[in-house]
Amino acid sequence: MKARNGAVLLVLAMVMGCSAGETADQPAQDSQVAAAPAATAAAATTQEPTGPIDQALATEGEGYFTSRGCASCHKIDAKLIGPALKGVTTRRSYDWIVAMVVRPDSMQQNDAEAKKLLAEYGTPMVNMGATKAEARALFEYLRQKSQ
């Protein structure tokens, strides 16, 4: 339920982001002015980082790798409790990785690939309470480590 609310909010933020863009050079009403900056910021923190590695974002992600407890179950180069994460950003999509980081519990129930991994590893990945913005930084860290 929580995850579904999150998805609805994301869609809402995206829709608001688009309409704000389309009306950007028209005189906006007060309510649009108030809504636009938040919607744009939300979209920016959930977009897939592409192109050259954003070093600052990757360093931020490296911090979350420890502070969110990922390091207790994952290493980059070797299997621990969970899979080695080197190359994960090339074998999985951005959306899949973010979903797995933010709500692994739901993925283990609903996603075919996550179910397969769980069957293989025997231990469920735990929901560590990472936000989408943190997942994005974690993705950039993993993308850097996969190069």
Contact footprint for ligand HEC (CB under 6 A): 68-70, 72-74, 81-83, 85, 88, 92, 97, 100-101, 104, 108, 117-118, 121, 123-126, 128, 130, 138
Taking the complex as a whole, the smallest distance from the CB of residue 80 to ligand HEC amounts, in Å, to 8
| Closer residue to ligand HEC in complex, CB, 106/121 | 121
Taking the complex as a whole, the smallest distance from the CB of residue 14 to ligand HEC amounts, in Å, to 23
| Closer residue to ligand HEC in complex, CB, 15/81 | 81
State how far the alpha carbon of 5 is from the alpha carbons of 9, 15, 42, in Å. Answer: 6, 15, 15
Q: Which two tokens stand for residue 124?
A: 């469920």
Give the separation between CA 120 and CA 1, rounded to whole angstroms. 27
Q: How many CB atoms lie within 10 A of CB 36?
A: 18
- Name residue, tokens 């809402």: 12
